[in-house]
Structure 1
Amino acid sequence: MTKSAGLDRLSLNQITTENLNLREAVEGCAQQDIPWISVWRHKVDAIGLKESKKLIDGHGLKVSSLCRGGMFPAATATERKERIDDNKRAIEEAAELGTDTLVLVCGPSPDKNLEQSRKWVQEGIEHLVPFAEEHGIKLGIEPLHPMYAADRSVIVTLGEANAMQRSIASFQVGVVVDVFHVWWDPYLYDEIEKAKGTILGFHVSDWKVPMHDMFKGRSMMGDGVIDIPKIRQAVEANGYHGPIEVEIMNQEIWDAPRADTLRLMKDRYGRFV
């Protein structure tokens, strides 16, 4: 029988409780003995960076990552520079909050030229590397499922993310493995092996059939078709032993009482991760 992941690695990715503000999410984690939280920037903006740090530290939580940077492609050089500047602010926020990882959702193409947009993604990350190094922050390229290519990311496979990481050739850059986005890939385990030493995050949820909503279609672990323990074992075999974020976009889960959601998350994590 596969040994489950320890609860000391469990992290609430804040989007799983999107209806909660940061204070409510932090207090919920503290009440349920969830040791980690992955913070979203719009939640930090709502109460301010200093208050966010004070709140998280005051409840004894650790920050697994900041979501999100990225969104590099844009139609004009001015817009692309604005994206770079916003990513620099995200790096500063990550450093202040005490995490070492900024998750990059790389962004869609502003037109039909995907090849050019992928070049802009790489150029954007390369531009950020010295600033990230100065602040002690790693940049995690998160490939998204191909169904999100039109509106969220032109980086859609772990192979693409690995190739970009190797091309940039910086220890500040790595990849994030989210089971929802990569489970289907016939080359997944080969690419996880190629990512050895550069995996910066591991995100879990499930793919329930049928999926009724493309954006809010993720489900709790155990409700779908993904072999999460097999993927977890692969990332661990290739060097990742950090926090495991539960990241779920699902309206029904968002609308549920906080305590119910967090208790269910802990139960499913223990049984299916």
Structure 2
Amino acid sequence: MRIFLKTEDEIDLMRQANRLVGRTLGELAKHIKPGVSTFQLDNIAEEFIRDNGALPAFKGFPNPFGDDFPASICTSVNEVVVHGIPDKKTVLRDGDIVSIDCGIVFAGYNGDSCYTFAVGEVAEDVKELLRVAKQSLYLGIDNAVAGKHIGDIGNAIQEYCEPKGYGIVRELTGHGIGRDMHEDPQVPNYGKYGSGLMLKSGMCLAIEPMVTMGNRSVGLMPDKWAIRTLDGKVAAHFEHTVTIRKGKAEILSSFEEIEKLESNIH
């Protein structure tokens, strides 16, 4: 395992990269409504990323099957947990949820964040899933401090979600991030308190709970990218990139623009 501690100059570049991810998700939030295709959202994201002097990190990203990801963002609708490929035939409908995962490369450093959006009016139980999944992200981040352990992050997420009847996907994890999108260590969303690697100042991690409405079992779809729940129930995915500090993690990405829009709608 090779873990790269970042200097303050590197963290500043990571901050800029992740803020741009936050602004991209904020831009997409303006367009998420019934009738919009995930293909349209992808075009908006790519144009915005490139206009701001960055590159979409996901485009051309390889998977173990030798297939390169064909788009700039992942758009995972309803029972798709992660890695949904945007296309013209997937049109958002009232009551859907869509997780948009966005990664960019800016000045040689990666930014990575995800937000699950409600499309129009969603059912109350789905709203509650989104609330719990988002809150679990922040509980995980509360444990991402120097001197604690990787297991503390996953334990906080698991202990919050599972007693409420939700599933925590085990096969996919958060990750270290920096010059590469996926660096060591892996950051599971479940775990035992006090277990795993000790966290040190200067580590940068992408923390990303994936929470299912039903069973936590997932499977790979025929496109060899998208991963969906086996029971067909919806799933939510929220992600922030953080840097480990003493006392409190610094969140490098941002949901601020999305939340501003959401509060105006409601």
Using the size of structure 2 for normalisation, the TM-score is 0.28
Higher relative strand content: 2
Higher relative helix content: 1
